[in-house]
């Protein structure tokens, strides 16, 4: 049985996400992906962003799928996954000047989401960029009924739930939210800069 897992949402959102990343990551050199998941985003984005070294990372339980995708679609600028769990592991790699994460913030407990914002802010150099994709609330309001229902599902499953953009901003330390892109399926791409 193949270790390679497939996420329909990764397939559906990859083009709109890439469009934002191509603009947001101009001039960046070394990216850490927090929560590479199946590995689909990494193998699609890295060959399109050849100016970057794309470092995958996730919980070790997800490494077999990431490695299977990387084996099938290798790229010169794509790196094997590092073990990284927010709140447990130290920052896994040096020299990173940009971070990308997709559909992780609402899975994390609130304390983990806060820690992610803080550790990214501390670990990025001046001029660093953090691109954060997923569903978020705005001023406490859900952007759709489907997101409201999804949040209830997340909470029932023991996840932390959808975070508010103002809440993330309060946790973000030196990071400044410079762009907030509305994305398909009631998601956003938040682009943070460290001055």
Q: What is the CA radius of gyration of the chain?
A: 16
pLDDT digits (tens, 9 = 90+) for 9-21: 888 899 999 999 9
* Predicted pLDDT of residue 1: 47
In whole angstroms, give the CA distance from residue 189 to residue 186.
10
Average pLDDT over residues 42-64: 97
Average pLDDT over residues 134-163: 96
In whole angstroms, give the CA distance from residue 191 to residue 62.
26
In whole angstroms, give the CA distance from residue 154 to residue 187.
15
Inter-residue contact 113 to 163 (CB < 8 Å): yes
Average pLDDT over residues 92-106: 97
Question: What band does 82 get if pLDDT is binned at 50, 70 and 90?
Answer: very high
* Predicted pLDDT of residue 31: 98
* Predicted pLDDT of residue 2: 66
DSSP 154: H
Question: What band does 8 get if pLDDT is binned at 50, 70 and 90?
Answer: confident
User: What rounded mean pLDDT belongs to the chain?
Assistant: 96
DSSP per-residue codes, 86-151: TTTSPP--SS--EEEEES-TTTS-HHHHHHHHHHHHHHSPTT-EEEEEE--BBTTB-SSHHHHHHH
């Amino acid at each position: 049985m193949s270790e390679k897992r497939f996420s329909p949402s990764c397939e559906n959102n990859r083009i709109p996400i890439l469009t934002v990343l191509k603009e947001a990551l101009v001039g960046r050199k070394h990216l850490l992906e927090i929560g590479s998941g199946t590995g689909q985003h990494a193998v699609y984005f890295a060959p399109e962003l050849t100016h970057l070294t794309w470092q995958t990372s996730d919980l070790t339980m997800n490494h077999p799928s990431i490695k299977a995708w990387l084996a099938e679609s290798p790229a010169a600028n794509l790196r094997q996954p590092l073990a990284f769990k927010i709140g447990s592991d130290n920052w896994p790699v040096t020299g990173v000047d940009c971070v990308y994460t997709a559909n992780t913030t609402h899975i994390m407990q609130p304390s983990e989401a806060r820690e992610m914002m803080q550790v990214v802010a501390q670990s990025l150099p001046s001029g660093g960029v953090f691109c954060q994709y997923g569903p978020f609330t705005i001023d406490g309001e859900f952007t759709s009924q489907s997101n409201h229902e999804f949040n209830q599902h997340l909470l029932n499953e023991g996840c932390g739930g959808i975070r508010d953009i103002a809440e993330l901003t309060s946790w973000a330390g030196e990071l400044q939210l410079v762009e907030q892109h509305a994305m398909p399926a009631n998601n956003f791409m938040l682009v943070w800069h460290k001055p």
